[in-house]
Amino acid sequence: MQHILRCRSLWRASTLETCFGSRLHVYGEPKARFASTWAQDAEEANRGSNGPPLSGRVHILGIGNVGSFIAHSLAARSSPPPITLCMHNKLLYNAYRQRKESIAVSIHGMDNIQKGFDVEVVDPNGTWYPAPSKHDRGPGGTESPFFNPEASGPIENLIVCTKAHHTVLAMEEIAHRLTPESTVCFIHNGMGVIDILNQKVFPNPETRPNYIQGVFSHGLTRKEQFSIAHMGVGTTILSPVGHRVAHLTGPDAEKSWAPTTKYLMQLLTLTPALVATAETPAGLIQYQLEKLAVNCCINPITALGECNNGELLYSFSYTRVMRLLLFEISAVICALPELQGVPGIEDRFSAERLRRYVVSIARMTARNESSMLQDINNRRTTEIEYFNGYIVRRGEELGIKCALNYMIKHLITGKATALAQRDRAEVPFSHEDIMFDGEEPQ
């Protein structure tokens, strides 16, 4: 039975089946789909390849809300794979040690704590070192975290959960550890990051790693560093993307995936808490674009108006602005060359359907502050370049002027600049105020 299920195409593992499977799992009757161990999955993914056996290890870069949730979900599996948290500085590692080297996710007010992660920290020269385990540190646990003299080696599977505007920089630091056999799974809001990454970090298609991209819709809020609350169950929609898979859309396409891609897709779709499903590349783009349309409307307008998502629905003026933005967004999406020939595009991405979708999300998240409003208030860089900025760039390529999206992009950038200037005029009390007022470490 297990064999039959595991041989089925990942693409046919529908949302319903995954939800159903995870529910059975939660109630203590694990279905066969969830019964394989990570080691069996690694072995199966490597079958038929001439390469060395897979270690099955998963590295995670960007340990904010999404990265913490994914690490926690993998560790909570009945068969957790080896997981390494990649930390971009010692401050973050110290914060992790203060949290007793654990990640907590609270569901309905109950904290579930997972431990047992390995950690690597990058030094200022860009060399990654494994942090010593508790056992190596001895009873006091006070030794320098950098006593391990041997730099870390190549990475098989990397999940990158940094925000869109940090991804290229973060990848520059770790690119030397990735090979054409590695798979990198990107999970972030916004679009256009992979194009920039290919230009700046992996210009040669032959030496580039394999890519998976994910659209993540679980509702998470941060309680403290490495401690988050799971507010609403969403999904994680995944597809291999990039030059090695772009032309393959049939159900047998996965046969041509690299062993690490097969392994990571299998591992993530069989991790109940993620509610993850596999999609085709064309299917994934459509989910990404729907989410983009929502982010292009709710995020900048709430950030400019300093209001919650739900308040947008009670202002005639804000709904007019959203409608006008969506006319441009719909025109660009319907003209995208990568969607030509996909049936039903004009209906799925009509301005009216997108408007109804945006309104439904604003209603569902009515009491939330959008991530852009939080970024603006905390003086962090916003994702505007990968939201409305992406629409403007694609519009320019297609000869479609997006004056309103262009204006929104500049209103957000202008507001961020004005706030930063206002802050600079204030004299900080201490050095610490400068250090910690800025970007929150991920």
We find the least distance from the C-beta atom of residue 414 to ligand KPL, in angstroms, to be 20
From 89-97, 200-208, 312-320, 368-376, span contacting ligand KPL (CB under 6 A): 368-376
We find the least distance from the C-beta atom of residue 223 to ligand KPL, in angstroms, to be 17
We find the least distance from the C-beta atom of residue 355 to ligand KPL, in angstroms, to be 15
239 binds ligand KPL (CB under 6 A): no
Contact residue for ligand KPL among 54, 298, 326, 329 (CB under 6 A): 298
Taking the C-alpha atoms of residue 387 and residue 190, their distance in angstroms, rounded to an integer, is: 5
Give the per-residue contact string, 246-285, with ligand KPL (x = CB under 6 A; - = no).
Answer: ----------------------------------------
From 38-46, 109-117, 324-332, 366-374, span contacting ligand KPL (CB under 6 A): 366-374
Binding positions for ligand KPL, 180-199, rule CB under 6 A: 189
- Identity of the residue, 36 or 302, whose beta carbon is nearer to ligand KPL in the bound complex: 302
We find the least distance from the C-beta atom of residue 374 to ligand KPL, in angstroms, to be 8
Q: What are 126's two structure tokens?
A: 């860009």
361 binds ligand KPL (CB under 6 A): yes
Residue nearest to ligand KPL (CB): 371
We find the least distance from the C-beta atom of residue 217 to ligand KPL, in angstroms, to be 8
Contact residue for ligand KPL among 371, 382, 388, 442 (CB under 6 A): 371
Tell me the pairing of strands 227-232 and 103-107.
parallel
Contact residue for ligand KPL among 103, 264, 294, 296 (CB under 6 A): 294
Taking the C-alpha atoms of residue 240 and residue 384, their distance in angstroms, rounded to an integer, is: 25
Taking the C-alpha atoms of residue 252 and residue 271, their distance in angstroms, rounded to an integer, is: 23
Going by C-alpha positions, the residue among 281, 357, 287 that lies closest to residue 322 is 357
Q: What are 101's two structure tokens?
A: 């080297």
Contact residue for ligand KPL among 46, 236, 288, 370 (CB under 6 A): 370
Q: Which value, to the nearest 10 degrees, does the dihedral of the CA atoms of residues 124, 127, 132, 133 take?
A: 110
Contact residue for ligand KPL among 295, 319, 330, 442 (CB under 6 A): 295
- Identity of the residue, 189 or 277, whose beta carbon is nearer to ligand KPL in the bound complex: 189
- Identity of the residue, 155 or 294, whose beta carbon is nearer to ligand KPL in the bound complex: 294
- Identity of the residue, 72 or 218, whose beta carbon is nearer to ligand KPL in the bound complex: 218
| CA dist 314 → 300, 309, 355, 356, 372 (Å) | 17, 10, 15, 15, 20
- Identity of the residue, 183 or 371, whose beta carbon is nearer to ligand KPL in the bound complex: 371
Contact residue for ligand KPL among 365, 382, 388, 405 (CB under 6 A): 365
162 binds ligand KPL (CB under 6 A): no
326 binds ligand KPL (CB under 6 A): no
Where does this chain bind ligand KPL (CB under 6 A)?
189, 294-295, 298-299, 309, 361, 365, 368, 370-371
